[in-house]
Amino acid sequence: MLIDLCELSPSYVRSIAPYQPGKPIAELAREMGIDEAKIVKLASNENPRGIGPRTRAAIEAAIADIARYPDGNGFELKQALAKRYGVDMASLVLGNGSNDVLELVALAFLGPGRAAVYSQHCFAVYPLATQARGARSIVVPAKDYGHDLEAMARAIDDETYVAWIANPNNPTGTFVKAEGIEAFLRRVPERVLVVLDEAYNEYLPHELKADSARWVKRHPNLVVTRTFSKAYGLAGLRVGYALAHPSVADVMNRVRQPFNVNSMALAAAAAALDDMEFVARSYAENLQGMRQLEEGSTSLGLEFIPSHGNFITVRVGKASEIYKRLLRRGVIVRPVGGGYGLPEHLRVTVGTAQENDRFLGALAASLKD
């Protein structure tokens, strides 16, 4: 072959650094010859509680209709979400995970000659989605590991159409209070879509939870995204959504694939949304696990970034080396050097009390190796 086929894609696509997911348990088992049952994975901010019985029953019931295409409009799930948030169904966009919804924003509103603004240490999908559309990235230095919204507002130029904000942020767990978000919304030009990614919203204490749906009604340029992957325990099924002004939701819906959310995911999400007790327990257990990891890190003499999510980012020194030592002990966490710019930290998902213990024990040993 005379041509390099890779060269056929636009240069902005070729220069994308691939997303690095958490290492799968089966892969580590294969590589190290460790029994899968002995591996602890705290690398992808999943819910260690799994799913509740009502959600499981809904998934099982959905099998009967699996030969049919799903409802491309996701009517039942949208109806339940519309009721929950007091919004019109036309304000909702469903996605194959909230990643899909983020991609839809980029697809609908970014392109060559346009720019998106985001923070240093932000969620990896923002640079990825921006670059894949040939749009320019405006990266603003973080303040105390979190979003510096004033600096982000100042960095917006005439070509900026999107501002990506995760609140709480992944991988740092930092959080901007409602006043900060409101001030940012007042300040940015109406042309700029503010994407407020609330993937970890359910892990916030009640007093920090903002009424995001009300914000969306007040600010037509605000898109709020949420997911069923975290507190609802449905990461493997892939379902997330956006709340947006109907005209914004309309263009996002035009560029999505007709059946982007599968029927099992739709049924599971509708059931999970109803199971408030499961989410409340997930919240409470996460809080306990977080304290366990905070205290464990402190007793090992390690600093951590105070987190509002279901994960904690701990400063361990030579993180890439400690990561490998943990792998050898059957514990998978997430290194956040590389694209995230935190080479001395490891991000650890809050697991069950037992999993957290395993991690802390393995960490203590790995620091001594």
Ligand X SMILES: Cc1ncc(COP(=O)(O)O)c(C=O)c1O
Residue 227 interacting with ligand X (CB under 6 A): yes
Q: Residue 16 burial by CB count (10 A; 0-12/13-18/19+): exposed, middle or buried? A: middle
Toward ligand X, which CB reaches closer, 224 or 271? 224
* Interaction residues for ligand X, span 181-200 (CB under 6 A): 197, 199
Closest to ligand X by CB, 49 vs 328, is 49
Asked if residue 229 binds ligand X (CB under 6 A), the reply is yes
Q: CA 157 to CA 127: how far, in whole Å?
A: 17
Residue 275 and residue 247 in contact, taking contact as beta carbons nearer than 8 Å: no
47 binds ligand X (CB under 6 A): no
Restricted to residues 81-140, the positions that interact with ligand X (CB under 6 A) are 97-99, 123
Residue 305 binding ligand X, by CB under 6 A: no
Closest residue to ligand X, Cβ-based?
97
* 310 forms part of the interface with ligand X (CB under 6 A): no
Residue 240 within binding range of ligand X, rule CB under 6 A? yes
Give Cα separations from 332 to 41, 270, 312 (angstroms): 5, 31, 14
Q: Using the rule CB under 6 A, is 202 a contact of ligand X?
A: no
Output the smallest distance, CB 369 to ligand X, in A: 29
Closest distance to ligand X from the beta carbon of 236 (Å): 9
Q: Binding of ligand X at residue 172 (CB under 6 A)?
A: no
Instruction: Answer yes or no whether residue 201 interacts with ligand X by CB under 6 A.
Output: no
166 sits near ligand X (criterion: CB under 6 A): yes
Record the tokens describing residue 149, joined without a space. 């919204």
CB of 347 to ligand X, least distance (A): 10
Does 342 interact with ligand X (rule: CB under 6 A)? Answer: no
Degrees (nearest 5) of the Cα angle 117, 120, 121?
125
Asked if 235 is part of the footprint of ligand X (rule: CB under 6 A), the reply reads: yes
- Write down the least CB distance from residue 299 to ligand X, Å: 28
- Is there a contact between 26 and 36 (Cβ–Cβ < 8 Å)? yes
Residue 55 as a binder of ligand X (CB under 6 A): the answer is no
Nearer to ligand X, 166 or 319 (CB): 166
Counting contacts by CB under 6 A, is residue 212 touching ligand X?
no
- Tell me: does residue 307 bind ligand X (CB under 6 A): no
Instruction: Using the minimum distance from each CB to ligand X, give the nearer residue, 99 or 131.
Output: 99
**Sequence-ordered list of residues with C-beta below 8 angstroms from that of 256, at least 6 positions apart, any chain:** 93, 95, 100, 104
Residue 281 class from Cβ within 10 Å (0-12 exposed, 13-18 middle, 19+ buried)? middle
Q: Give contact residues for ligand X (rule: CB under 6 A).
A: 45, 97-99, 123, 166, 170, 197, 199, 227, 229, 235, 240
